[in-house]
């Protein structure tokens, strides 16, 4: 007769000077430097579940372990005996879906926003009957089939594992992107703010579309009737298509990716606004410089660049880049027009980003008033103990001269 007694979980112990209250109060990360990293703990396989203990060996939480990462443990439950299985995953997804369906209705949204939705390191974006999963932590990579099964139980037929991105590299995870369930060959049409966006789930940036800008697209759309719009770093049409949906006269999208611009053109066509939508492929800084030299002016200019400061070591250079964006974009705004500047760099907190933008506008010789500060939509909740989860910032200025 076999012994059915479960194998005890391994343990990780905090160093004596590490304050365990931080974990008890909800912080989801434990850094490698905070853990007693002996031969036993270093032997724990990446993705394993373990019990986190304080320095006095009092159990604190159930954690997912990766001793090869700077974040050695991610808190999955404050119950040291919690079962982290398919049922646990299904419960997390159910809670998240209830919120999104009440908030948005149509099934196009960020379904799981990592730590803020109780699944550390996991990002899931939903595109109707398809979902893109980014398991950016080792524990989730081990349980990705259980995640796919739980998504299938929600009626999602196509589940893609997106293994691209810097986060998986730092976790030591593979870069193989593959369909876990079903599969799609064509881009998905996504309705948002009255516009139609085309999301390439397998070949596009990140998960194929940036749902986080939804409320900021909507704010700009409120200014866009009868306006001319320049959308720089446009990806698949972001702000430009939202403006056209709200009655803008024209929109020019600038991006370095020809495939992204082709998808933006398809979105404009499906909206019946192809004649009002033009694109320009090229380096955004070069294109803005050229437009300025040509004396071009627009009622609304938006610049939504990639993360120039993805981490603290890049902060100084990143803030200079945001200042340069503002300096080149400001002269392109007609007198009385609007300039929206965005940052998705969590290391560039709001006050520093705002100061860079204001310096850039001033260096361009323009006078401005700040009329709106925007953040990610409510399908991207912020973890109260983790500033990194509130990464997106947008500033809209009215230029007075």
Domain residue spans in the chain? 11-77, 86-181, 196-399
In this prediction, residue 396 carries a pLDDT of 98
Q: Taking the model in full, what pTM does it have?
A: 0.94
Instruction: State how far the alpha carbon of 235 is from the alpha carbons of 49, 245, 255, 305, 397, in Å.
Output: 38, 17, 6, 9, 22
pLDDT band at 46 (very low <50, low <70, confident <90, very high): very high
Q: Give the tens place of pLDDT for each residue, 191-205.
A: 999 999 999 999 877
Q: Give the tens place of pLDDT for each residue, 273-316.
A: 999 999 999 999 999 999 999 999 999 999 999 999 888 889 99
Query: Where does 11-77 sit in CATH, by number?
Result: 2.30.130.10
In this prediction, residue 6 carries a pLDDT of 61
Rounded to the nearest 10°, the torsion over CA 216, 219, 225, 228 is: -40
| Whether pLDDT at 3 is above 60 | no
d(CA 76, CA 19): 19
Q: CA quadruple 70, 76, 81, 84: dihedral positive or negative?
A: negative
Q: What is the CA radius of gyration of the chain?
A: 23
d(CA 285, CA 288): 5
Q: Give the tens place of pLDDT for each residue, 174-187.
A: 999 999 999 999 99
Query: Where does 86-181 sit in CATH, by number?
Result: 3.30.750.80
Q: Give the tens place of pLDDT for each residue, 129-142.
A: 999 999 999 999 99
CATH class of the domain whose range is 196-399: alpha beta
In this prediction, residue 75 carries a pLDDT of 98
In this prediction, residue 208 carries a pLDDT of 87
Q: CA quadruple 150, 151, 156, 160: dihedral positive or negative?
A: negative
Separate counts of helices (H) and strands (E) for the chain: 12, 19
| Whether pLDDT at 391 is above 90 | yes
For the range 1-10, what are the long-range contacts, defined as Cβ-Cβ under 8 Å and sequence gap of 24 or more? 9/49, 9/50, 9/51, 9/62, 10/40, 10/41, 10/44, 10/48, 10/50, 10/51, 10/65
pLDDT band at 167 (very low <50, low <70, confident <90, very high): confident
Q: Give the tens place of pLDDT for each residue, 241-271.
A: 999 999 999 999 999 999 999 999 999 999 9
Which segments within 217-331 are labelled E, that is strand?
228-232, 250-255, 277-281, 298-303
* Residue whose tokens read 């770093």: 233
Angle subtended by helix axes 238-245 and 214-221, to nearest 10 = 40
Neighbours of 305 (CB within 10 A): 18
Going by DSSP bridges, is the β-strand pair 158-161/130-135 parallel, antiparallel, or unpaired? parallel
Rounded to the nearest 10°, the torsion over CA 265, 268, 274, 277 is: -70
61 and 132 Cβ atoms separated by less than 8 Å: no
């Amino acid at each position: 007769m076999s012994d059915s007694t479960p194998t005890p979980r391994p343990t990780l112990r905090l160093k004596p000077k590490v304050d365990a209250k931080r974990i008890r109060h909800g912080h989801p990360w434990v850094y490698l430097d905070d853990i007693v990293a002996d031969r036993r703990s270093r032997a724990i396989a990446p993705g394993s579940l373990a019990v986190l203990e304080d320095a006095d060996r009092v159990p604190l939480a159930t954690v997912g372990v990766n001793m090869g990462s700077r974040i050695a443990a991610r808190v999955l439950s404050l119950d040291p005996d919690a079962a982290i299985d398919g049922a646990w995953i299904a419960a997390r997804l159910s809670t998240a879906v209830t919120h999104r369906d009440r908030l948005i209705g149509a099934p196009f949204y960020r379904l799981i926003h990592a730590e803020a939705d109780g699944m550390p390191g996991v990002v899931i974006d939903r595109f109707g009957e398809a979902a893109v999963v980014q398991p950016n932590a080792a524990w989730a990579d081990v349980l990705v089939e259980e995640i796919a099964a739980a998504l299938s139980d929600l009626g999602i037929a196509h589940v893609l594992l997106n293994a691209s991105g810097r986060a998986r590299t730092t976790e030591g995870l593979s870069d193989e992107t593959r369909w876990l369930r079903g599969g799609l060959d064509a881009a998905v049409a996504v309705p948002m703010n009255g516009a139609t966006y085309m999301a390439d789930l397998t070949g596009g940036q990140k998960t194929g579309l940036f749902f986080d800008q939804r409320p900021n697209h909507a704010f700009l759309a409120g200014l866009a009737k009868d306006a001319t719009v320049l959308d720089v770093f446009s990806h698949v049409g972001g702000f430009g298509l939202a403006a056209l949906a709200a009655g803008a006269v024209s929109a020019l999208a600038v991006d370095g990716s020809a495939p992204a611009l082709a998808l933006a053109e398809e979105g404009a066509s499906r909206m019946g606004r192809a004649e009002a939508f033009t694109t320009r492929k090229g380096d955004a800084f070069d294109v803005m410089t050229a437009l300025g030299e040509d004396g071009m002016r627009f009622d609304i200019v938006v610049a939504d660049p990639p993360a120039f400061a993805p981490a603290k070591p890049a902060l100084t250079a990143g803030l200079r880049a945001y200042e340069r964006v503002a300096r080149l974009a400001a002269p392109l705004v007609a007198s009385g027009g609007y300039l929206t500047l965005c940052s998705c760099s969590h290391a560039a907190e709001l006050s520093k980003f705002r100061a860079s933008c204001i310096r850039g506008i001033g260096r361009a010789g323009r006078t401005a008033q700040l009329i709106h500060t925007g953040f990610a939509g409510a399908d991207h909740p912020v973890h109260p103990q983790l500033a990194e989860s509130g990464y997106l910032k947008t500033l809209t200025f009215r230029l007075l001269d």
